[in-house]
Every structure is written in structure tokens, then in C-alpha cells.
Chain A
Amino acid sequence: MNHEWPLFEVFVRARRGLNHVHVGSLRAADHEMAVHHARDLYTRRNEGVSIWVVRSDDVVASSPEDKAAFFEPSGDKSYRHPTYYTIPGSVPHI
């Protein structure tokens, strides 16, 4: 019998003002236990002020094989970047 607990992905906010960042995964019976385990596993030295846990099988990811086609549309739009525009150096504050 496979009584492995489900896998959870863990995200930690290091301090107020920062995003939650993915730090790894762990096994737990449910979400509540996952939060407790995440505290013991990923914040033993004040690494965080807030934790999110998400069931790994609920995560939907873009496919690495389609990476080129998927991200290509943004590649040829250099006009989206400020450096695309030439402004005389004499113009201040721009």
C-alpha cells in the first residue's frame, strides 16, 4: 500500500515588502500540516515572516519544450523598452 503523503510546494516571504518566493517542496498529510512542516524545514533561522503552501499537483506550468514559441512574441518588440527611443542628451529628467 502506498501511504505516501501528497507533495506541497512551499513559498516564503523573507520580510515585509518582498514577494513570496518558491523555496522547495515537502510531504504532508494536509495543508495545515504542510504549513507547520514548512516552518520547521524552511524557516529555522528567521528566513521568513509568511508561508504559502500549494499542492504540487495543482500547479500548472508552461511547457519547457514550447519555450521558444511561447516566449517568442515578446522577443521582437524592442519598442516596449525605454532604450528603443533616442532622446537628445540635452533634454533633462527623461
Chain B
Amino acid sequence: MSDFEDTIARDQRIEPGDAMPDGYRSTMIRQIAQHAHSEIIGMQPEGEWITRAPSLRRKAILLAKVQDEAGHGLYLYSAAETLGADRGDLTRRLIEGRQKYSSIFNYPTLTFADVGVIGWLVDGAAICNQVPLCRSSYGPYGRAMIRICKEESFHQRQGFELLMTMMGGTPGQRAMVQDAVNRWWWPSLMMFGPPDDQSPNSARSMAWKIKRHSNDELRQRYVDMSVPQAEALGVTLPDDELRWNADRGHYDFGTPDWAELTRVISGDGPCNAARIERRRRADEDGAWVREAAAAHARKREKVVA
């Protein structure tokens, strides 16, 4: 048994510099990079509402949240770099469409209620996915996830509180919340990935203890968590098949439109092109600042020497 297999079998962590199979390294880089890209692209849907937040309090909260997303992206790029990946190269792969990010960020934020629903449902699904990743076999990834999960809890709670406030408002505001829930519920369920029997890489990731639970297990857990929250909020989840199953001890629920997930992942969602275009522009517009800072640092180094 190799040191790598032994470490995994004893449920210990793989650390940077350890010998590891090429497949483990490339899977880890791909997963961490996709996760980092999701955080960075994830700044956009909510970022659009910063200038239009209805109060200074909501604006400050939203700014802090979007800044956290940037931070999460950077923790993750840092983890990817411990495997020999290069941050600039990963960004280029994202912009050129050679690496993916979570399909959820390709949906538009039409009203301010979407900000609340993203916090509640989208960040709720992210927490469900990410809590088990804190025990992922790659040390730097697990440690980044611990930091991220702590902060996601603020994200989810601010979203739920925002929605509770709107639900206590006018009939128009309540309708806005219900409309946002109707649009985000199914894409949130898709965040857990395709069904287990159509998820080709899952078995290997489970064997390597990168993943700890299957897509369908986590999806079920998320549905079970969300139903009582929806009741507390006074909204209806848009699924006719959603009902408690006493035999299973879980909620039964309908089947997401997997064709839609495939379409959005492959680039044909409502906002894919706009998201990537904005990221590309930000990278290009920032290039001269990065170059100027580097030139300034070189000059000062010379003066000291």
C-alpha cells in the first residue's frame, strides 16, 4: 500500500508536497478551481443590487456579503496553488470557458427579493454541500472550507431575515418573495449535481474521500431542511409532488429538469455570456493596475538594494 492509500485509509489528510496519484491532483485542482470560480462569478448576481439596496443597512450587509464571496474565491485559489496550479492560469481557463463554475450563477436577479432568496436557498444549498467538504481528504481544501462555512452562515441568516422582513410588508412585497422562490427553488436543487446514477466521477471522489456524501443524499437533506423553513416564512415551494413520507422519514419531491441543468452547464443559461464577459473585462481593466504595482515594487526594491 502506498503512503497515499495508507493516509486515505486511516482517514488522515493529504498535505501539499505529499506524493499523490496524478488523477487525485488533477481532480482536486479542477474541483477547487471550479469552486473558486463559482465564488468569484457568484459576486455578480447580488453585486448588481448593491447600488439599489433599499436602505443603508441592507447596502452595508450586501457589500460585506459580496466581499466575503471574493474572499472565499481567494482562499480557494490559495488552496489550488498548493497543488502546483497557477492563479493567473486558472482565471484564464475560466475566461476562455475551459473551466466551469456553478450553474446557479447563470440565473438573473430580477428583484431585491432575489438577494434574500439567494442567501436563504442558494447559500443554504452551498452550506449543505460544503459542511461535509470540511472533512475532505485534501488538507488545504478542508481548511478553506471550514473558514468559508463559518461565513456562509451569516449569508444564509441575512437572506432569511431579509425575506421575513419582506413577508411582513405589503401584498406586493410578499408576491415578490414568492416569485423569487418559484424561480430559484429548482435551480437550487440542481446545485447538488446530476442524480447519482449519472454522476460518473462521484465513485472515485468518494473512494478518495474528497466527497463524503452522494449528490442525491445531500439533495434530500437540503429538501428536508428547507420545507420547515419555507413554512416558517409563509411561502410555497413550487413542487406539487412535495410531501412528507412517513415510511422513509423524508420528504418526497419532484424531479428537477435535468435537461435544463445540462443546457446551463454547457453555456446556454440566461446569463452565461454576460457573467464571463464581465469577468473578462474586470481582468483586462485591472491589468494596468497590476502591472503598475509590480513596476513600483521593482523600483523600490532597487532603491533599497
Residues of A at under 8 Å CB distance from B?
2-5, 7, 24-27, 29-30, 33, 40-41, 44-45, 61, 63-65
Query: Are A41 and B74 touching (Cβ within 8 A)?
Result: yes
Which residue of chain A is the closest to B67 with respect to CB atoms?
Answer: A44
Query: Are A5 and B19 touching (Cβ within 8 A)?
Result: no
The yes or no answer to B216 lying at the interface (CB within 8 A) is no
Quote the shortest CB–CB distance from A80 to chain B (angstroms).
Answer: 24
Interface residues of B in 258-297 (CB under 8 A from A): 287, 290-291, 293-294, 296-297
Query: Are B86 and A4 touching (Cβ within 8 A)?
Result: yes
- Chain B residue numbers with a CB within 8 Å of A61 are 17
Instruction: State the CA gap A81–B234 with chains docked (Å).
Output: 62
Query: Are A24 and B17 touching (Cβ within 8 A)?
Result: no
The yes or no answer to B57 lying at the interface (CB within 8 A) is no
Residues of B at under 8 Å CB distance from A?
15, 17-19, 64, 67-68, 71, 74-75, 78-79, 81-82, 86-88, 140, 143-144, 151, 287, 290-291, 293-294, 296-297, 300-301
Instruction: State the CA gap A40–B70 with chains docked (Å).
Output: 10
- Chain A residue numbers with a CB within 8 Å of B143 are 24
Instruction: State the CA gap A30–B302 with chains docked (Å).
Output: 13
- Chain A residue numbers with a CB within 8 Å of B19 are 64-65
Do most interface residues of chain B lie in helix, strand or loop, or is the interface mixed? helix
Query: Are B75 and A44 touching (Cβ within 8 A)?
Result: no
Quote the shortest CB–CB distance from B153 to chain A (angstroms).
Answer: 11
Instruction: State the CA gap A64–B17 with chains docked (Å).
Output: 6
Query: Are B74 and A44 touching (Cβ within 8 A)?
Result: no
- Which of A24, A27, A41, A44 is the most central at the interface, judged by chain B CB atoms within 10 Å of its CB? A24
Query: Are A5 and B290 touching (Cβ within 8 A)?
Result: yes
Query: Are A41 and B81 touching (Cβ within 8 A)?
Result: no
Query: Are B87 and A4 touching (Cβ within 8 A)?
Result: yes
Residue B294 contacts which of A7, A24, A29, A64 (CB distance < 8 angstroms)? A29
Instruction: State the CA gap A7–B64 with chains docked (Å).
Output: 25
Residue pairs across A and B with Cβ atoms less than 8 A apart, 5 shown, are A5-B290, A7-B81, A25-B78, A29-B293, A30-B300
- Chain A residue numbers with a CB within 8 Å of B64 are 44
Quote the shortest CB–CB distance from B37 to chain A (angstroms).
Answer: 16
Quote the shortest CB–CB distance from A12 to chain B (angstroms).
Answer: 11
Query: Are A5 and B294 touching (Cβ within 8 A)?
Result: yes
Query: Are A27 and B75 touching (Cβ within 8 A)?
Result: no
Residue A30 contacts which of B75, B86, B88, B297 (CB distance < 8 angstroms)? B297
Instruction: State the CA gap A33–B300 with chains docked (Å).
Output: 13
Quote the shortest CB–CB distance from A4 to chain B (angstroms).
Answer: 4
Query: Are A25 and B81 touching (Cβ within 8 A)?
Result: yes
Instruction: State the CA gap A2–B291 with chains docked (Å).
Output: 10
- Chain B residue numbers with a CB within 8 Å of A3 are 287, 290-291, 294
Residue B71 contacts which of A5, A25, A44, A65 (CB distance < 8 angstroms)? A44
Which residue of chain B is the closest to A61 with respect to CB atoms?
Answer: B17
- Chain A residue numbers with a CB within 8 Å of B297 are 29-30, 33
Instruction: State the CA gap A4–B64 with chains docked (Å).
Output: 27
Which residue of chain B is the closest to A37 with respect to CB atoms?
Answer: B74
- Chain A residue numbers with a CB within 8 Å of B300 are 30
Instruction: State the CA gap A6–B160 with chains docked (Å).
Output: 40
Instruction: State the CA gap A25–B76 with chains docked (Å).
Output: 10
